[in-house]
């Protein structure tokens, strides 16, 4: 570990250091809460229609295995490098500065699409509780009408969450813990309702759509499971042993997989697939049917709102720490790498992301699908590069301090890394034109625009920065030398 890293890790009182305030439950709540957003409320009917009950379950089981393998590579790396920015640190050490930028820019793009998604999802969910929310029509985008009152709900929540995170990670994690506990209570009520009012006959058909249906569900897994990697983003603010942080990464993935499989099975038991597929909020309508009262549907919607808040909050934390790390290493303007002097939070990065989330609701509900699809490829690209860095560091730095070594000292770790990399490549191919789950034009346009912006920063990074423990310091020296010549 370099001197700069040691200072960050061992001198939390420094004005340039983040505050260590997160315990085990705080950390797990951030990772698990990030993965349980809003999709489980609104998308379940579509999953059942596309793949059938068992087909959807198998898709989430397969996706959970893939994400668990990726999570294992993260768990070793975060234990070895417990620094803000997660992937940024792993890839710059394993592959060099330019690859680190590609990885960090990719996962940041994925995070920001999720933050924007939640800003649009919140007012849509609130409509279930307050049907008269739509007033003062503004405009129409892609067939979706935008109303001022509707948009202000999302924009107002964006302001509140951004301010909450600027004030401090401890306050943000307390809100996260409360929302996750409420979410788990709602999940328990859904399971209980399935035993009380569910019917096994409603689980039919078990399979529909064949391989195409299975892939249609599998392709959303990166978007739904992204979030375990928020734990590494906040690792510099965790006050538990690095080895334990690594374990919590994998635990959060397992918990998310169990959650999604539970939602599929319980919702499927509530009513026929056709009825669920035609519902705007399938899981909420399923909950109401299981308990025989619309009140329980509203309770589940409240759980969905809790999921929106937990996911939104987690990705504000994750994206801001990544942007902060890139600003600290001068890959992005140094303004992003500054901390609020009072709260010692990456306030500038949070303000930037908060501004984007305030704007998102004004683009209407059509943004929901676009954001899901445009962010997923970037997320998988980042996961692939982390897996490759894991393998390279195993080969180049066998003596590197690894408080948690996955797969032992033999070839087990290499097998895990290779499987994670290959499976991520396989997931990436599912988005390409001609594949059963290929993306439409609008998501590719958003994806392309994000990378066009990234190219402007990428080509500012000097070439020849070799990977290794001193890569970030070498980059800083190269950038300083370039600035002195101007």
- Residue 101 contacts residue 472 (beta carbons within 8 Å): no
| pLDDT at 8 (0 to 100) | 42
| pLDDT at 5 (0 to 100) | 42
Domains defined along the chain, listed by start:
26-480 (1.20.1740.10)
| pLDDT at 287 (0 to 100) | 92
Q: What residues in the chain have per-residue pLDDT under 70?
A: 1-18, 222-223, 366-373, 435-439, 483-486
Rounded to the nearest angstrom, the gap between the alpha carbon of residue 411 and the centroid of all alpha carbons in its chain is 30
Helix (H) or strand (E) holding 138: strand 137-141
Q: Measured between alpha carbons, how far is 236 from 242 in angstroms, rounded to an integer? A: 10
| pLDDT at 136 (0 to 100) | 82
Who's near 169: CB < 8 A, 6+ residues apart? 18, 19, 21, 22, 234, 237, 317, 345
Question: What is the end-to-end Cα distance of the chain in Å, rounded?
Answer: 32
Burial class (CB in 10 A: 0-12, 13-18, 19+), 144: middle
Sign of CA dihedral 310, 313, 314, 315: positive
Which letter does DSSP use for residue 133 in this model? G
Q: Measured between alpha carbons, how far is 8 from 283 in angstroms, rounded to an integer? A: 45
| pLDDT at 391 (0 to 100) | 93
| pLDDT at 357 (0 to 100) | 86
**DSSP-assigned letters across all residues of 33-68:** HHH-SSHHHHSHHHHHHHH-HHHHHHHHHHHHHHHH
Q: Structure pTM?
A: 0.82
């Amino acid at each position: 570990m370099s001197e700069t890293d040691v200072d960050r890790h061992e001198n939390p009182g420094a004005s340039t250091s983040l505050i260590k305030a997160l315990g085990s439950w705080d950390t797990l709540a951030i990772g698990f809460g990030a993965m349980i957003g809003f999709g489980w409320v609104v998308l379940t009917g579509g999953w059942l229609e596309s793949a059938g009950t068992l087909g959807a379950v198998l898709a989430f089981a397969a996706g959970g295995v893939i994400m668990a393998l990726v999570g294992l590579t993260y768990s070793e790396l975060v234990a070895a490098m417990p620094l803000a920015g997660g992937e940024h640190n792993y890839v710059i050490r394993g592959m060099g500065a330019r690859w680190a930028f590609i990885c960090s820019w990719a996962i940041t793009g994925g995070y920001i699409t999720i933050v924007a998604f939640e800003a649009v999802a919140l007012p849509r969910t609130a409509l279930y509780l307050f049907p008269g929310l739509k007033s003062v029509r503004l405009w129409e985008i892609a067939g979706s009408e935008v109303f001022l009152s509707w948009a202000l709900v999302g924009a107002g929540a964006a302001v509140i969450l951004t301010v909450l995170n600027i004030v401090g990670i401890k306050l943000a994690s307390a809100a996260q813990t409360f929302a996750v506990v409420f979410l788990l209570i709602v999940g328990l009520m859904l399971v209980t309702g399935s035993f009380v009012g569910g019917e096994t006959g409603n689980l039919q058909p078990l399979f529909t759509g064949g391989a195409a249906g299975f892939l249609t569900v599998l392709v959303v897994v990166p978007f739904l499971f992204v979030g375990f990697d928020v734990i590494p983003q906040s690792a510099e603010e965790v006050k538990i042993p690095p080895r334990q942080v690594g374990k919590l990464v994998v635990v959060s993935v397992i918990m998310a997989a169990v959650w999604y499989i539970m939602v599929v099975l319980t919702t499927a038991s509530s009513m026929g697939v056709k009825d669920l597929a035609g519902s705007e909020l399938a899981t909420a309508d399923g909950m109401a049917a299981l308990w025989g009262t619309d009140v329980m549907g509203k309770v589940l919607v409240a759980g969905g709102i809790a999921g929106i808040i937990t996911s939104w909050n987690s990705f504000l934390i994750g994206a801001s720490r990544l942007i902060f790390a890139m600003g600290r290493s001068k890959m992005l303007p140094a303004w992003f790498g500054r901390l609020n002097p009072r709260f010692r939070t990456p306030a500038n990065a949070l303000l930037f992301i908060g501004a984007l989330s305030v704007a998102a609701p004004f683009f209407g509900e059509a943004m929901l699908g676009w954001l899901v699809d445009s962010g997923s490829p970037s997320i998988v690209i980042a996961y692939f590069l982390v897996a490759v860095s894991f393998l390279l560091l195993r080969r180049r730095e066998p003596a590197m301090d690894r408080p948690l070594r996955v797969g032992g000292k033999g070839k087990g770790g290499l097998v895990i890394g290779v499987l994670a990399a290959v499976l991520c490549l396989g997931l990436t191919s599912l988005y390409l034109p001609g594949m059963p789950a290929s993306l439409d034009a609008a998501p590719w346009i958003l994806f392309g625009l994000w990378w066009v912006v990234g190219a402007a920063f990428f080509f500012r990074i000097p070439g020849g920065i070799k990977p290794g423990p001193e890569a970030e310091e070498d980059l800083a020296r190269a950038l300083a030398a370039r600035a002195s010549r101007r």
